[in-house]
Amino acid sequence: MANLIKTVFLNKKLFLKRLIFFSSVFLFVFIFALTFYLIFKKHNDGEIVSKKNKFLYLLIRWNNGLGFSILKGKFTAICTTQSIFIILQILILNLCKNTSEIISLSMIISGGVFNFFQRILSKQKQVLDYFCFGFFEFPIFNVADVFITIGIVGFTICEIVKLIKMSNV
């Protein structure tokens, strides 16, 4: 145990990488929990909160599916799939070298973890979605979904830049 602690603190890059990851995850999960609390506490399922803004408004809905209603109503399959993806992302995180990749994966992992625990802990066994685009037909989503999407885009950009740099060498 002492060797493990010594290794983590002596290897400054590894320590910094983990500090960035855990700090990011803590901040992101706090943001998700706060938005969930503020919306869930004040509004009911199916309630349209404000449609004054035609671009984006709040429509409260419980979602029993995975992204775009994949595996709708299949609780065990959803939880298994989410667990596998979270574990894979954590394994990929160990290969990351730069801060942008770490933060992108932190966004994906924290969004997945929040949705996973919300599904497990809610009495509905579902995830609360509440953002809705008003100008075209699009699935309702939540803040964790936004972070997952931004994280995927960010990580993809990091990988493309890495490939471009490797091809130029």
At 56-79, the pLDDT tens digits run: 777 788 888 887 678 888 889 888
In this prediction, residue 166 has a pLDDT band, given cuts at 50, 70 and 90, of: confident
Whether 129 is catalytic is yes
pLDDT at position 5: 57
pTM equals: 0.79
pLDDT at position 9: 56
Of 145, 147, 148, 155, which residue is the catalytic one? 145
DSSP, res 140: -
Of 115, 129, 142, 154, which residue is the catalytic one? 129
pLDDT beyond 90 at 96:
no
Q: Which helix (H) or strand (E) holds 130?
A: strand 127-133
Q: How far is 24 from 28, CA to CA, in rounded Å? A: 6
pLDDT at position 51: 63
Spans of all domains in the chain: 13-168
Q: How far is 3 from 163, CA to CA, in rounded Å? A: 36
